[in-house]
Chains A and B, each alone.
Chain A
Amino acid sequence: MSASHVSVETLSLPPPGLWHRPGFKRFRRHKLAVFGACGIVLLTLACVLGPMLLPYTDTFIDIRQRFAPPFSGPHILGTDPLGRDILARLLMAGRISLAVGFCAMIIAMAIGVCIGLIAGFYEGIVGTALMRFVDAMLCFPSIFLLLAISALIQPSVPSIVMLIAMTSWMEVARVVEAQIRSLKSRDFVQAAVSFGASHRRIMFRELLPNAVAPIVVAATLNVAHAILAESYISFLGYGIQPPTPSWGNMLESAQSYLTSAPWLAILPGAAITLAVTSFNFVGDGLRDALDPRMDLG
């Protein structure tokens, strides 16, 4: 066993550097994905570092400069009804919105992967029951479910993260379940079974690592979904509560000034669109890069 292993190692070529691996090449060729990756990096950097470089904080009230339009004075992107700097608020809101999206994704992935792994591995009654539960959860239109539960809980950043995660893990579970079910009959899993490997070992050491590609794709698309979900419920008034800024609740307060100060509504929406589009582009590019069957040129 170990001898054959060594001979295979010596025969194979040295692994290509990350930059030149086929998957990575396919990703680079996907212009939109590269655009999306740049968008994510820039947005994240801006939200993390930006507020420190600005002359105004997001809570500084400059009452003489209320409703200043963009590019008209000391405030680059203008001010809101209280004279607070919009750029500073956008960046601080971005921290919250991106963090909520990212944390919700982590939790949703943890739930979805576990459920999918168990359902796919133990098919039978357990698997069927879990997957029917997934189907039933998917019967509820996501916003209806989000709002119905958010009405029952105290809104705070952690509870909104949990709420979004609890209502967005189902697609992941479906993807993982399908992948695990198809992997289960493969030779390497049969080999592990015949060696007497424990169920846990087969699930986490044999099956899961081979299902990483679709999980990574689902995770990227899930961030986009979570950012969008946060903006929806915050816009409708049940998400992140002011004074904590988020892109969604900035839009909620902007709604009443649509006629007199349209930039208040346009800028946060553009930020959401940029963030969500970027994650969707990257997810799409990753799907093409990691799934060789889709490589149609």
Chain B
Amino acid sequence: MSSFLLRRFGQAVLLLFIVSMIGFAILHLAPGGPMSQFAAGGEMSQEDLDRIAQQLGLNRPLPVQYGEWLWRMLSGDWGRSYRDGQTVTAIIGSHIGATLQLMATSTVLAMTFGAWIGILGAIRRYSLFDSLATVGAMIALSIPTFWFGLVLIYVFSVWLGWLPSGNRYTIGDGSLMNQIHHMIGPVMVLALVSTAVWSRYMRSSMLEVVNQDYVRTARAKGLSERSILIRHALRNALLPMITITGLHVPTLLSGALVTETVFTWPGMGRLFLDSISYRDYPVVMGILMFSAVLVLLGSLTADLLYGVADPRIARSG
């Protein structure tokens, strides 16, 4: 087990290293690079630009710059925002809560509904419900998230007037009910894709399990269909879902960015977009790297949890 842990951890560190190189390359190799913000104004002479490059250390060899950048990232110094001089880590820290709140709530919802749809689809395979769920999941995966958000706002906020059209809470009213009321719309949008993904994987995972020998044995023992499903099939079918949840983090983060934009939700995704429009590169790079680290942590945690839940993996893998 511990060697599995170590190896998996080592892979994650190596991956993080490559991720950091890609991030650095994006910052430096894109046309203009870090100097483009100064050159774009057109008010600086070439000498000014050279002096800035000298002061910021941008005229040194790339490997040296990369080494220094990596060291600063690792020691927690992610730079300061061009916009207001706050540290990047502090800005991300003050926005990540709202994003995690959305992501966690919609994941729990998507797991519940998706698993239920998938299990029902697998039990009544090729029934009307199963076909509808299949088509529905495909459409849900094809709908642009932001458009679904706009349609929801139109129907529930403009037309019916049931839901607020954005923000995390009404100013001056921080009650829990008010916050939940504001969360309904964005959570529905974010949960749509996750529910579709969960229902598809749950269905195929369940179908794989119900044909296994131990399920047939349970049936031969004369156990009730309900007990077979819950005690024998479901427990094993849920195992691969740990991995799916871990691998779903990038999709969830992308979805959160779009959802936050549509619902003016003050989270990390909207911060990212705002920073891009202000050309606030330290914050943009900070969030880009932070999201990649979240994705890595997601898949690492999923692997470790899977190892705990299914000891065969840890021993053989």
A265 to B154, CA, bound (A): 10
Q: Tell me the nearest residue of chain A to B257, going by C-beta.
A: A143
Q: Tell me the nearest residue of chain B to A152, going by C-beta.
A: B30
Q: Given contacts A141-B253, A142-B254, A280-B142, is CB(A148)–CB(B15) below 8 Å?
A: no
A40 at the binding interface (Cβ < 8 Å): no
A113 to B258, CA, bound (A): 30
A10 to B142, CA, bound (A): 48
Q: Given contacts A148-B276, A151-B279, is CB(A251)–CB(B253) below 8 Å?
A: no
Most chain B beta carbons < 10 A, residue from A151, A153, A262: A151
A259 to B291, CA, bound (A): 34
A192 to B172, CA, bound (A): 75
Is B150 touching A144 in the complex (CB atoms < 8 A)?
A: no
Which among A132, A152, A251 is the interface contact of B147 at CB below 8 angstroms? Answer: A251
Q: Tell me the nearest residue of chain B to A283, going by C-beta.
A: B138
Q: Using an 8 Å CB-CB cutoff, how does the interface string of B147-170 with A read, 1 for contact, 0 for none?
A: 100110110001000000000000
A151 to B146, CA, bound (A): 20
Is B15 touching A135 in the complex (CB atoms < 8 A)?
A: yes
Is B139 touching A277 in the complex (CB atoms < 8 A)?
A: yes
Is A138 touching B146 in the complex (CB atoms < 8 A)?
A: no
B223 at the binding interface (Cβ < 8 Å): no
The minimal Cβ–Cβ distance linking A42 to chain B, given in whole angstroms, is 16
Which among A137, A238, A258, A280 is the interface contact of B150 at CB below 8 angstroms? Answer: A258
Is A258 touching B154 in the complex (CB atoms < 8 A)?
A: yes
A76 at the binding interface (Cβ < 8 Å): no
Is A281 touching B138 in the complex (CB atoms < 8 A)?
A: yes
Q: Which of B18-26, B68-76, B79-87 contacts A (4 or more CB under 8 A)?
A: B18-26
Chain B, range 79-137, C-beta contacts under 8 Å to A: 135
Which among B276, B279, B285 is the interface contact of A147 at CB below 8 angstroms? Answer: B276
A151 to B288, CA, bound (A): 13
A60 at the binding interface (Cβ < 8 Å): no
A147 to B287, CA, bound (A): 12
Q: Which residues of B contact A238 (CB under 8 A)?
A: 276
Q: Which residues of A contact B143 (CB under 8 A)?
A: 269, 273, 276
The minimal Cβ–Cβ distance linking B249 to chain A, given in whole angstroms, is 8
> How many residue pairs at the A-B interface have CB separations less than 8 Å?
134
Is A139 touching B288 in the complex (CB atoms < 8 A)?
A: no
Is A236 touching B142 in the complex (CB atoms < 8 A)?
A: no
The minimal Cβ–Cβ distance linking B33 to chain A, given in whole angstroms, is 8
Instruction: Name the interface size band of chain A.
Output: 35 or more
Which among A143, A144, A152, A258 is the interface contact of B36 at CB below 8 angstroms? Answer: A152
Is B142 touching A149 in the complex (CB atoms < 8 A)?
A: no
Q: Using an 8 Å CB-CB cutoff, how does the interface string of A263-296 with B read, 1 for contact, 0 for none?
A: 0011011001100110011001000000000000
Q: Using an 8 Å CB-CB cutoff, how does the interface string of A96-107 with B read, 1 for contact, 0 for none?
A: 000000000000
A276 to B138, CA, bound (A): 10
The minimal Cβ–Cβ distance linking B96 to chain A, given in whole angstroms, is 14
A145 at the binding interface (Cβ < 8 Å): yes
Is B150 touching A140 in the complex (CB atoms < 8 A)?
A: no
Which among B147, B273, B279 is the interface contact of A236 at CB below 8 angstroms? Answer: B273
A231 at the binding interface (Cβ < 8 Å): yes
Chain B, range 288-309, C-beta contacts under 8 Å to A: 288, 291-292, 295-296
Q: Which residues of A contact B292 (CB under 8 A)?
A: 139-141
Is A136 touching B22 in the complex (CB atoms < 8 A)?
A: yes
Which among A248, A259, A269 is the interface contact of B151 at CB below 8 angstroms? Answer: A269
Which among B138, B158, B285, B295 is the interface contact of A280 at CB below 8 angstroms? Answer: B138
A292 to B194, CA, bound (A): 29
B261 at the binding interface (Cβ < 8 Å): yes
Is A132 touching B15 in the complex (CB atoms < 8 A)?
A: yes
Is A262 touching B26 in the complex (CB atoms < 8 A)?
A: no
Which among B139, B144, B151 is the interface contact of A232 at CB below 8 angstroms? Answer: B144
Q: Tell me the nearest residue of chain B to A224, going by C-beta.
A: B142
Is B135 touching A32 in the complex (CB atoms < 8 A)?
A: yes
A-B contact pairs, 15 of them (CB 8 A): A136-B18, A136-B19, A140-B288, A141-B250, A144-B257, A144-B288, A144-B291, A153-B30, A232-B146, A258-B154, A259-B158, A262-B158, A266-B151, A269-B143, A272-B147
3 tightest Cβ-Cβ pairs between the two chains A and B? A269-B147, A152-B30, A136-B18
A residues contacting B by CB (< 8 A) are: 32, 132-133, 135-145, 147-149, 151-154, 224, 228, 231-232, 235-238, 248, 251, 254-255, 258-259, 262, 265-266, 268-269, 272-273, 276-277, 280-281, 284
